[in-house]
Amino acid sequence: DIQMTQSPSTLSASVGDRVTITCRASQSIRSWLAWYQQKPGKAPNLLIYEASILDSGVPSRFSGSGSGTEFTLTISSLQPDDFATYYCQQYNTYSYTFGQGTKLEIK
């Protein structure tokens, strides 16, 4: 299986901050990476697919980049609604794996 490692595990930030979350794959996954946002008690919500394409309705303050083994999710100016847990997921192989999650907390 391809292992996905996110960093940091927890991130404390303030409204208006620019934040970046990193996801590393144990082998190349080309651009086949998605990012999800999950709020407590809710299902994950797709933000980005193919590493950098925003899903419909996702605010433009979210962006994704990377290819191969290293990827980033950036939120350009944090809004109160953005405090949540974020997961990456690879779909390069027929055995999908997720990162362990990054919890974005209010500082």
The phi and psi torsions of 3 (rounded to 5 degrees) equal -95, 135
Count of residues touching another protein (by CB under 8 A): 23
The answer to whether residue 5 forms part of the interface with another protein (CB under 8 A) is no
Chain positions 55 to 74 lying near another protein, rule: CB under 8 A, are 55
Q: Binding another protein by CB under 8 A: which of 2, 5, 58, 91? A: 91
Which three-class secondary structure string do you get for 7-36? ECCEEEECCCCCEEEEEEECCCCCCCEEEE
Please report how close the Cβ of residue 94 comes to another protein at its closest, in angstroms. Answer: 5
Q: Report the residue from 26, 27, 50, 61 that binds another protein according to the rule CB under 8 A.
A: 50
Coil/strand/helix, residue 81 = helix
